Amino acid sequence: MSGMILHLRADTVSLVVDARDLPTVVHWGAPLGELSEEDLVTIADGVVPPVANNAPDVPVPIALLPSARQGYPGRPGLRGHRDGVDWLPTLRLISVRHNGSTATFELAGTVRVSSTVELSPSGVLRLRHVVTNDGTEPYVVDGVEAALPVPAQATELMDFTGRWVREKHPQRRSFDPGSWVREGRRGRTGHDATPAILAGTAGFGFRAGEVWAVHVAWSGNHVTYAERVHEGRGVLGGGEVLTSGEVVLAPGETYESPWLYAAYSAAGVDGISSAFHTWMRARDTHPARPRPVVLNTWEAVYFDHDLDRLRGLADVAARTGVERFVLDDGWFRHRRDDHAGLGDWYVDEGVWPAGLAPLIEHVTGLGMEFGIWVEPEMVNPDSDLYRAHPDWVLAPGDGTLPPPSRNQQVLDLANADAFAYLLDRLDELLRDNDIAFLKWDHNRDLIAAGHGGRPGVHEQTLAAYRLFDELRARHPGVEIESCSSGGARTDLEILARTDRVWASDCNDALERQTIQRWTALLLPLELIGAHVGPPRSHTTARTQDLSFRVATALFGHFGIEWDIASASAADQEALAEAVAFYKELRPLLHKGMLVRGDHPDPSATVTGVVARDSAVFAYAQLTSSAHAVPPPVRLPGLDPDRRYEVTPVFPAGRPAVRQAGPPDEATRVLTGRALAEVGVRVPVLMPEQAWLLRLTAT
């Protein structure tokens, strides 16, 4: 630290913050090594921009909390007012606390702001602002957003869009002057939400180029943006989207912005993923034990909860090697389809006259854990709960209800009575039954979501976090999956409270190749639920070979969602072999480094996981190629000076090929450098087929 200039360092990144005025990042990028006090001053002074014609007569900084009061022409970091006055926040720096990799800046003026910046050893940076109303009149918070500048060489943007059963598809554009703003106003993270905005050097890929990325860790309404102001400077930022009047601070009250997470990579998108995966695996809350093989009953039985049929399914699951059996929707009162019952969280006596115990005891007696589906935040109007408490739903406050969606409304968790009811029902369910896992769903957007006549999404999100936290405190051994009609609640704040996400309601392996590939941008594979679906997809009607479905599900937290009791004996045997293969590879898949090749043919992908002495790669042929023969497949991320045995493996049968002779299945031995630069031959695969390679260091 030099006066008020800070240098936060990790092996892969440096952050230099000039705090001689409002805290401003002067460098976020490549590591700068040891810097003297004089060096820091020189760097900070050297990046102050010249004054342009027809601009303010003094340089305008881009602060961590960008300030319109200083003349910044882009998105202001703090927006608010006191009944129409104090609309232009005036702040001054009053103190700096610096302890290792964490710095906190205290600002005072119109309100009090505490800005915290933390840099982890993996290179993940996070920052947030805490606003306190230290005045005598209420202060309306309209927005609080954190920002990080990116250098001029970041000329391209990547973010993501999607929909139900087609989440997290990338889109690219030039980083031109103006703003690229991604707002989520669905009351949950959203199927169409971008997990991050990435800015990078021209043509950046998985393994090449400099990349800067930001992610807003918030499960409610949010904004992530990239902005290039007219002077040419670029900024990435984001925060919570607040509806007018949603947050009004009484004197002494505080608002905390969501954490804005960020990472820099000098080695492409994989470097961003490596930073986040390393950071997540170092958390105290990260799942410690091997991720059990899951069988979820949804696409096996749907609402047909017949005890004998489920016992039979459990018998086959146990023989196959399944370790966790999850009973999906349909176990509670009045739930024979998706039109009724949500909110009535009592075991349906008509379907389960002896309760869930007969099935649970059968499942656990076979050596498997038992899990169950819940959707606590939702209610069907056709339910005993709604008939008794119609006032417990989020509504605009004008005597009407929000438009129905999936035959559901949303329970107002900020209503103390509704919160207590849900906590009591879930607590009793877990207390009275041997349940190791909750599949926690959230199947609709929050529309016209009011609480007490005011906007309610902010308080709903915080209340949902409290419900997760209280339930986990009471039942610390129970794991929870964040499911939101698939991948519509996938963010780092919900993952502070859950043990995995359900990446998509789509089990079509072709769709899953893209969904899982980009869900893994931030999340390590062990947190991404990935199941082998039935031969004919429930959501797309495609038919796919078992080998392709297995090869896809291997790159995640492996499971099954299929009526395997009705599968052929050959398929059951092949699936059991695949489960055994997953268990053998589990330490590698869930502790190794994810790598993705920049393959020249857009019809195919290359994905691998690399550890010190071993690796596994999948070459997936997604569609027909424009070329008759695939090029050699280069395998990145290996130790260049070690030699590896490379062997094709077939855990669930051989893929279909389109070539004159049988595929070459010989084992080869090559250095990591040769495998990365020259590659290996793969067969001419039919579309929707995969070629798996197992590598062992010699």
Contact in structure between 446 and 455 (CB atoms under 8 Å): no
The Cα 698–Cα 693 span in angstroms is: 16
User: How many degrees, rounded to 5, is the angle at CA 159 between CA 213 and CA 186?
Assistant: 105
Helix (H) / strand (E) element for 510: namely helix 509-519
Q: What backbone torsions phi and psi does residue 506 show, to the nearest 5 degrees?
A: -90, 120
CB-facing half-sphere around the CA of 236: CA atoms within 13 A: 29
The Cα 451–Cα 470 span in angstroms is: 22
Contact in structure between 210 and 200 (CB atoms under 8 Å): yes
3-state SS class at 174: strand
The Cα 578–Cα 215 span in angstroms is: 35
Place of tokens 């954190």: 146
Query: Which amino acid belongs to residue 235?
Result: V
Please tell me the total number of residues recorded for the chain in this structure: 698
Residues 6+ apart with CB under 8 A from 7: 1, 14, 15, 16, 32, 35, 40
Q: What is the CA radius of gyration of the chain?
A: 27
Sequence-ordered strand ranges (E) for 258-408 = 259-265, 294-296, 324-327, 369-374, 378-379
- Picking from 525, 437, 532, 440, the residue whose alpha carbon sits closest to that of residue 484 is 440
Residue of 441, 445, 491, 545 marked active site = 441
Residue of 270, 329, 499, 505 marked active site = 505
- Picking from 238, 233, 15, the residue whose alpha carbon sits closest to that of residue 124 is 15
The Cα 25–Cα 61 span in angstroms is: 9
* Cα dihedral sign, 674-678-684-690: positive
Residues 6+ apart with CB under 8 A from 211: 198, 199, 200, 201, 204, 264, 265, 268, 269, 271, 272
Paired residues of 323 in beta bridges: none
505 is annotated as an active-site residue: yes
If one counts every other C-beta atom within 10 angstroms of the C-beta of residue 165, the result is 21
384 is annotated as an active-site residue: no
Q: What backbone torsions phi and psi does residue 272 show, to the nearest 5 degrees?
A: -65, -50
Residues 6+ apart with CB under 8 A from 659: 683, 684
- Picking from 534, 545, 539, the residue whose alpha carbon sits closest to that of residue 651 is 545
One DSSP character per residue, 529-562 reads: EEEE--SB-TTT--B--HHHHHHHHTSSEEEE-S
Q: What backbone torsions phi and psi does residue 223 show, to the nearest 5 degrees?
A: -135, 140
User: How many degrees, rounded to 5, is the angle at CA 619 between CA 615 and CA 625?
Assistant: 165
Catalytic residue annotation: 441, 505
